[in-house]
Amino acid sequence: ETLAQELEQQQQQRRQTPLFLGGRLAQNGNMSQMFNDGGAGYVLNRAALKRLVVDGLPHYFPTVRTQSAEIMISRIFAQLGIFPYDTRDSVGEERFHPFLPQQHYKYRIPNDDAKGKDWYYQYAVDLKTGLESCSVQSVSFHYAKRDAMKRIHALLYDQCRKQQQKQQQ
């Protein structure tokens, strides 16, 4: 009975812990100014949303107008002690992506002359390229239209091969 109560209490605590999930970027490479990329989308659990609406928005930066909503939301959360959660998979591959899969696959770290001009290189956290850039557990890709998302889903979850096998039977 004590174990059951303890497990219930742990589950309750997890539900009350604010989670701010997404593709983390560091503003101008500054790791103390991390934010979740709005293009790739970010996810808030109920506890985080409540803290944002009740404790954050009314009190922090109420008069600021900006197109960088993801940065402002991250700053508000930082004031509340909530920081972007590392959502990479167990091998360090990203789950939230600011580009389409093919763009991530083809992306290469710029040469020294171009590094200062490449925002992605400047903002990315522990940047990986090629096949290591996208997790098989990816959640989102920015700029992906409906048909592309269906195809990505099919590829990630092996639907193409399974459907082909069904047709051959």
pLDDT in tens, the chain (169 residues): 677 777 777 777 777 899 999 999 999 899 999 999 998 899 999 999 999 999 999 998 888 888 888 999 999 999 999 999 999 999 999 999 999 999 999 999 999 988 889 999 999 999 999 989 999 888 899 988 999 888 888 887 776 666 667 767 7
Two tokens, residue 133: 């850039």
Instruction: Please report the pLDDT score of residue 120 as a whole number.
Output: 94
**C-beta separation of 26 from 125 below 8 A:** yes
Q: Please report, for residues 156, 160, 163, the alpha-carbon distance to residue 166 in angstroms, rounded to integers and kept in the order given.
A: 18, 10, 5
Instruction: Please report the pLDDT score of residue 159 as a whole number.
Output: 62
Q: Please report, for residues 96, 112, 137, 156, 166, the alpha-carbon distance to residue 150 in angstroms, rounded to integers and kept in the order given.
A: 16, 37, 15, 10, 19
Instruction: Please report the pLDDT score of residue 160 as a whole number.
Output: 60
Distance of CA 136 to the CA centre of its chain: 14
CA distance linking residue 121 with residue 96, whole number of Å:
16
Q: If we measure between CA atoms, which residue out of 141, 153, 158, 160 comes closest to residue 102?
A: 141
Q: What is the pTM of this model?
A: 0.80
**C-beta separation of 127 from 98 below 8 A:** no
Main-chain dihedrals φ then ψ at residue 83, nearest 5 degrees: -125, 155
